[in-house]
Amino acid sequence: MEKETYKLRFFLLLFFTFCSAILGDSAAEALLLANFPAKVVPLMYSVNAFFLFLFSLFLMSAIDRVDRGKLFLNFLFIHAIIVFLIWVAAISGVRALFIPLFSYSYITKIFIFLLFWTLANDIVDSRKAGRDFPFIAAGGTIGAIGISFTIPWILKIISARNLLLVWSMLSVILGFSFLPINKNFKRFFLPAADRGGKKKVNLKNIFGDVLFVMKEPLLSNMSIIYFLLFFILLNQHYTFYTAIKDRYKEAGDLATFLGYFNGISMALTFILQVSLSGFLLRKIGSTRSMLLMPVAFTLIFATLTYQSLTSTLESNVSVTLYGSVTLTMFWFLITGVGIRIAFFDSFFSPNFQIFFSSLPHDIRGRGKLVIEGVIKPMAMVSASSWIFLVTPRLSFPVNMMILLGASLLMVLFSIRLRSKYTESLTEYLGSFRTKIVDNEIGENETDIDISMLPQIETQLKTEEIEIKLFLINQLSKLNDPKVFDLISRYYPEAELRVKCGIIKAFSGKTDRKLKDVFLSAFKDKTSELFALSLRALSSFDEEKIYYQIKGFIRDSDPLISTEAINALWYKAGRSDKKIYISVLGKLIFGNDSKGVICGLKTLKGKSDEPTIVSLFEKFMREREELYLKDRAVWEAFLNVTASGISHKATAVLLSLSPSLGAKKRKDITATIIHICRSGYDIFKMKGVLKDGDPVHRLILLDVLISILKHPDDDTISLLRKLAKKEADAASRELLSMDVLKRRSVEPAVDLLFNAVKEELLNVHIGNIIRIAALLDTSDRVRSVMHRLNHENEHIKARAIEVFDNCGDVAINRLAINLLDRVNEKGNVSKKGKETIVSVISKYMKNSNPWLRLCAEYATVSI
């Protein structure tokens, strides 16, 4: 069985689960009420809460450490045997068993549902859960509606006691329907391999689990929401029972009303589940959907408060709690409960499960059990105590106001859930690094001081070359005669690379001892050391030295000649500079790549001379082939460009980008960032950002992400327009992909399809995500943006959930919808106007040469 078919299997499994649970509940309740007074029921709720607590505490330490599939299966068969034995006892006349049966029915129902959703969470990620769980939940509702109408019919044939036998049989069916699921998905249900030995189930560990879950930001917030929900829900239900008991005195009337009420509310739930629920959860996202239930509560209790207050004012009599209720008020109460049931089963319950899907496997089960086994019983006991102790002492409007307050509190925690959800998810993605940490990393440079010289002198003799070079650089910052002494002592024994490092680091300093060092390098036969000494010696401002250096301007070694130019440039007159520029021109337009590289490096820092700028711009235009082919020349070219030598450079680099690979595009981005940091205003490229090639936008957006802290209002407006433009372009590409997909049996068309898909993800959708990162002040989008298309489905789902819950909602959802559409591209959607010929022709004119080549090749195959 493929993973995709799990949906139908779980739909059927939940169908039988509900059939079994509702039948068990009805049988247990009927047998209890038929044999004991009704006042025992509220007491049993407290007993249930107590057992639920104990049961969950036990399971809490076991659920993540056992094979969940095996646990579910064994439980179902043991449960069937127990119910069968109770049936045997019941037909033998043992009535006392009906009291524990009531609690047993409740606890087993909770356990089965809890384990069912945990198993479903184990199989799917949170994104898939959002799409599939409403459908699965509908299976349960159909089962509930079906069994509700079937029970009266069954009771015409058999007695209530014999319902126990049917219950036992349904549990066996449930077990058998789970067998194939367990067989095919067993690996998902196994405990995580790295969890070592089994942990002992004792109070200390259980308490530790509860504390652990309560410290988890998402789970603790979910716990508060769950507590408030059950507190409000039980109070509302108590009001509901009081109202219907007030209106219907006879048991038959009560049963009829409840039958209709249950049937209608379940039908409404079903309609919502199959129509609106999945669509809405997907459309507005999981965290925003969590607001539906508390908002519904708020509206219900606001209406009831208003209604009860106006009734009180009209009658001028304080309406005592749960006294006679007017017909209008009665229907408001009933409608409120109906809406609550429909919203709970359609939106809250399946959506609540989605949050568990995003949690790591090891805390998912424990989290669920703490909420179901500790928080829920706490809410039940609190609500019961409230109903018994406080409710009778307050007026009806005040009670409604309190429930309204609790609903508003629930709204507040549901809003807070968004930030807690992203906090937890980014923690599990392990990627969030704030700007503060980045700044600290940037600033955390080691400094040395003069007292450390003896120690450094020893290290310069013993350490690796890289460390020696680091120490030399640090020493050059001290500018102290003691340092110069040390350097002149150390220089003769240093390795060649270290000697070069010394000359480079101390070049520009004019200490007498250093001059001896530089002169020693000047006499060295090694060309690099000699070349470096030229610039170092030029700092001493001595005519004799200048004269000597001048002799090397036309040296055959480009390193020496360019270092000589560097040494003399700032003292040179117009005619000398003309000569130097002519030498540099010959070098950068020559055939020797070493000469080109040395020449290019020499242009750096001389942009005050217009001829140098013109020379560089000519190089940019005429030597494109060379610098794109030779990596060392490319690096030297970018190095000079990054110094901001020409204002035309950004446009030239952008024009090159569409035909380049990812690495060179990144190089260009880094270069433009440098140019901007040296004062270039990137918004001069606004026109390119607005109307240029998507690849140009990609690079400019990456630049903006690096240099722009907070975009101003104009930029925000521009970015939003750009996102819309990219989304339109992406939609057009998706239509073209549909056409290509239909012909993807042809390998060449399939290749084009893949190339278009990559371009769509990287460029158009990638640009929307870049815009989302720019618009997000929390930094979270930046931390997850590279994982939105991760190959691991769970990581991808978590990243998308974070993305969906921070920054600019409209822009983020635009990107998510497009990502979903791309990922669903295995299935062809509706037919557009384009034909395979028109699509291929379109890509033959694309600015991306790779797409053009693939399109050209595809024409051969069609």
Partner 1 sequence: MSLAIKESELLEKVIFLKKTNLFSSMRTIELRTLASIAERFTFTKEDVVVKEDDVGDSMYIIESGSVRIEKKQKGGKSILLATLKSGEYFGEMALFDAELRSASAIADEECTLLNIRSDDLHDVLLDHPTIAIDLIKTFVKRLRNTTSGVSKER
CB of 528 to partner 1, least distance (A): 23
Compute the least distance from the CB of residue 501 to partner 1, in Å: 25
- Give, to the nearest 10 degrees, the angle between helix 40-60 and helix 6-35: 140
Quick one: 369 or 749, whose CB is closer to partner 1?
749
* 228/854 with CB nearer partner 1: 854
Which CB sits closer to partner 1, 299 or 628? 628
Say if CB 11 and CB 135 are below 8 A apart.
Answer: yes
Rounded to whole angstroms, the Cα distance separating 628 from 658 reads 13
- The encoded tokens of residue 518 equal 């530089």
CA–CA gap between residue 712 and residue 701 (Å, rounded): 15
Residue 307, token pair as written in the block = 């209604």
Closest listed residue to residue 339, CA positions, set 384, 288, 394, 294: 294
Neighbours of 514 (CB within 10 A): 24
Angle formed at CA 105 by CA 103 and CA 109, multiple of 5 degrees: 120
- Closer CB to partner 1, 577 or 852, in the complex: 852
Q: Left (φ > 0), alpha (ψ -120 to 50) or beta: where does 420 sit?
A: alpha
**Nearest approach, Cβ of 842 to partner 1 (angstroms)?**
16
Rounded to a whole number of angstroms, the minimum distance from the CB of residue 791 to partner 1 is: 7
Cβ at position 263, least distance to partner 1 in Å: 51
First to last CA, the chain: 36
Closest to partner 1 by CB, 734 or 755 = 755
Selection from 801, 719, 790 nearest residue 761 by Cα: 790
Q: Which residue has the tokens 């070079």?
A: 469
- Nearest to 673, CA basis, from 715, 703, 640, 710: 703
Q: How far is the CB of 627 from partner 1 (least distance, A)?
A: 13
- Cβ contacts of residue 42 below 8 Å, gap of 6+? 384
Q: Which of residues 283 and 631 has its CB atom nearest to partner 1 in the complex?
A: 631
| Nearer to partner 1 (CB atom), residue 63 or residue 761 | 761
In sequence order, the 6+-apart residues with CB closer than 8 A to the CB of 553 are: 561, 564, 565, 568, 579, 580, 583
Return d(Cα 817, Cα 206) in angstroms, integer: 42
Q: Which amino acid is located at 234 in the chain?
A: L
Give min distance, CB of 551 to partner 1, in A. 38
Give the residue with the Cβ less far from partner 1, 686 or 790. 790
Question: Do 46 and 379 form a contact (C-beta atoms < 8 A)?
Answer: no
Q: Cβ closer to partner 1: 169 or 853?
A: 853
Half-sphere exposure of residue 240: CA atoms within 13 angstroms, side-chain side: 21
Tell me the C-alpha distance between 344 and 338, whole Å: 10
Instruction: Give the CA distances from residue 406 to residues 345, 401, 503, 610, in Å, rounded to whole numbers and listed in that order.
Output: 20, 9, 74, 74
The DSSP symbol for 192 reads P
Interface residues with partner 1 (CB under 8 A) are: 631, 661-664, 747-748, 750-751, 754-755, 758, 791, 850, 853-854, 856-857, 859-860
When the beta carbons of 624 and 750 are compared against partner 1, the nearer one is: 750
DSSP state of 825: T
What is the nearest approach in angstroms of partner 1 to the Cβ of residue 789?
A: 11
User: CA-CA distances (angstroms) from residue 374 to 116, 187, 353, 367, 805?
Assistant: 19, 29, 17, 10, 28
Please state the closest distance from residue 793 (CB atom) to partner 1, in A. 14
| Nearest Cα to Cα of residue 299 among 349, 259, 336 | 336
Closest separation in Å from C-beta 606 to partner 1? 30
Beta strands in 537-617 (DSSP E): none
- Looking at the Cβ atoms of 503 and 748, the one nearer to partner 1 is 748
Nearest approach in angstroms of CB 759 to partner 1 is 9
Which amino acid makes up residue 815?
A
Kindly state the smallest distance separating residue 631's Cβ from partner 1, in Å.
7
Question: Closest separation between CB of residue 734 and partner 1, Å?
Answer: 18
Q: Which is nearer to partner 1, 793 or 856 (CB)?
A: 856
Q: What separation in angstroms does the CA of 630 have from each of 634, 637, 692?
A: 6, 10, 28
- The residue (of 480 and 750) whose beta carbon lies closer to partner 1 is 750
Per 3-state DSSP, the chain is made up of helix, strand and coil in percentages (nearest 5) of: 80, 0, 20
- Least distance in Å: CB of 72 to partner 1? 24
Q: How far apart (Å, rounded) are the C-alpha atoms in residues 601 and 423? A: 47
For 798, the token pair is 């978590």
| Amino acid present at 537 | L
Q: Is 211 exposed, middle or buried (0-12, 13-18, 19+ CB in 10 A)?
A: exposed
Measured from the CB atom, is 590 or 849 closer to partner 1?
849
The least CB distance from residue 757 to partner 1, in Å, is 9
For partner 1, the closer of residues 488 and 657 by Cβ is 657
Residues 611, 581 contacting (CB under 8 angstroms): yes
Q: Looking at beta carbons only, is 390 or 837 nearer to partner 1?
A: 837
Q: Which two tokens stand for residue 802?
A: 């974070």
Using left for φ > 0, alpha for ψ between -120 and 50, and beta otherwise, residue 316 falls in left
* Cα–Cα–Cα angle for 149, 47, 64, rounded to 5 degrees: 85
Assess contact for 847 and 696: CB atoms under 8 A. Answer: no
Smallest distance from partner 1 to CB 657, Å: 14
- Helix count and strand count (H, E) for the chain: 43, 0
- In the complex, the smallest distance separating the C-beta of residue 166 from partner 1, rounded to whole angstroms, is 43
Nearer to partner 1, 436 or 662 (CB): 662
Closer residue to partner 1, CB minimum distance, 527 or 744: 744
> Could you tell me the smallest distance in angstroms from the CB atom of residue 856 to partner 1?
5
